[in-house]
Structure 1
């Protein structure tokens, strides 16, 4: 991860599913994005912001990246750590570390730019104050 100031916001874990693997017998690269998504959704919903279009406003991803460092294989329990930097008016950079329970290595590092959006207009809106207070690094 870069040297940008960041705050650890959420840590979650869940089992690797057999279907997460691909023909190379390791977790498919696309699934790592799902792991980060799950951590992000858990964090936002734990703060009281439902993540669905009927909510009126909520987070959307405008950019995502992942660096795959060590293959993850089944069976395993994945640990995802979610970090964020200082927020802008309507967006915040988030970073992810993906680990495997019982192993000290970082298996993948990711990032995603999250924008708070009005679902009806499709335009960005200011990050709610309650959420903003949790983001200050």
Structure 2
């Protein structure tokens, strides 16, 4: 595995029949689950199975989603590209693009960003990023999410 800075990570996430709304599209709320599933897959690979940020404590502080195209149910998974956009002392932002997997199509369904805060369950307080955690996030650090409102 290469460790160049700025690597996007791509996770394939399956859709569920129950993700659909009355219009036959994946419900907007279900996009949050797709992002969470991608984070769980990605963090396990980024930080290892024996020690994951999820096991040590991480809380969602903010979500922002821009819906770009309707996503209908299909049996093939969708791809969620993920990268870090801001890395602070105890928090970081993750960016996402929800799209068709390579070779399936070129539709981009949504862009999103989540602010995550590292948290100690022992002390019930935020905790700082360790040097090795910061280094892993920096390998996946990239440009801010190109939300449409930022281009105005």
Q: TM-score, normalised by structure 2?
A: 0.76
2:86·2:94 contact (CA, 8 Å) conserved in 1? no
C-alpha distance in 2 between matches for 1:42 and 1:74: 21
Give the aligned partner of residue 93 of structure 2.
93
Distance 1:25 1:17, change over 3 A: same
C-alpha distance in 1 between matches for 2:10 and 2:59: 20
Residues 69-80 of structure 1: pairs in structure 2 closer than 5 A: 69-75=68-74, 76-80=76-80
2:25·2:72 contact (CA, 8 Å) conserved in 1? yes
Give the aligned partner of residue 24 of structure 1.
23
Give the aligned partner of residue 123 of structure 1.
125
Q: CA deviation at 1:86?
A: 4.0
SS at match of 2:123: coil
Count of aligned pairs between the two proteins:
129
Residues 1-137 of structure 1: pairs in structure 2 closer than 5 A: 7-46=6-45, 47-48=47-48, 49-50=51-52, 55=55, 57-75=56-74, 76-101=76-101, 102-136=104-138, 137=141
C-alpha distance in 2 between matches for 1:8 and 1:106: 19
SS at match of 1:65: strand
SS at match of 2:11: strand
Q: CA deviation at 1:51?
A: 5.6
C-alpha distance in 2 between matches for 1:86 and 1:113: 9
Higher strand share: 1
SS at match of 2:80: strand
Q: CA deviation at 1:9?
A: 4.3
Q: CA RMSD in A?
A: 1.8
Ranges in structure 2 where 5+ consecutive residues have no aligned partner: 142-152
